[in-house]
Chain A
Amino acid sequence: GAGVSQSPRYKVAKRGQDVALRCDPISGHVSLFWYQQALGQGPEFLTYFQNEAQLDKSGLPSDRFFAERPEGSVSTLKIQRTQQEDSAVYLCASSFRDRNTEAFFGQGTRLTVV
């Protein structure tokens, strides 16, 4: 595709509900990142994939957060039993090679937990 695509753009979840956020990276991009951006803050690293391998998940805030990229392209970030503190914009980025090349961001999914 022309760029990184994320869906949905907006998600309102009731506290305790499970959500799944989707990221379609740029075709051919090996690396995929998930970031969480709270209002007025910089993106906070969550996890990183190289193809289908999850090489770093040190930023996932709790075991309620789970990410996968089973075929090395589309990725899904799942949040179980959502809490109010999970409200944020979730950004996905992809890059052609490793982490030291330009990362292109998607528009993000704004999650609001009520």
Chain B
Amino acid sequence: GENVEQHPSTLSVQEGDSAVIKCTYSDSASNYFPWYKQELGKRPQLIIDIRSNVGEKKDQRIAVTLNKTAKHFSLHITETQPEDSAVYFCASGSSASKIIFGSGTRLSIRP
């Protein structure tokens, strides 16, 4: 069945440095790739999404890249801040299938 692999499971970076989280997906029909941020005890919230007709999208300190040939997509956070500490989930979906989530990356920002 469809699945999404996410790496790393934990990531610790120095404040101000960049963080990169990578995901791979298996369903060739996937054409929608959202990223969610979940703080402890709170609901997942969408931070950025990308559709398969573009290769990169940027929103301030957050960027996502997509390589459909390799079935890879990545989240890049630059100039990390303490409030970036959370669990991040990638996901993939298509109009013919449900949205499948990765297992999450716990990001910690060291002061």
Chain A residues at the B interface, C-beta cutoff of 8 Å: 33, 35, 40-45, 48, 56, 58-59, 91, 98-100, 102-108
Contact = CB atoms under 8 A, between A and B. Distances in A.
Interface of B: 6, 31-32, 34, 36, 42-46, 49, 51, 89, 93-95, 97-104
A102 B46 contact: yes
A41 B43 CA distance: 13
Contact of A105 (B45, B49, B51, B95): B45
Name B's interface SS.
strand
A108 B36 CA distance: 15
B43 A91 contact: yes
Residue of A42, A59, A104 with most partner-chain B CB within 10 A: A42
A98 B32 CA distance: 11
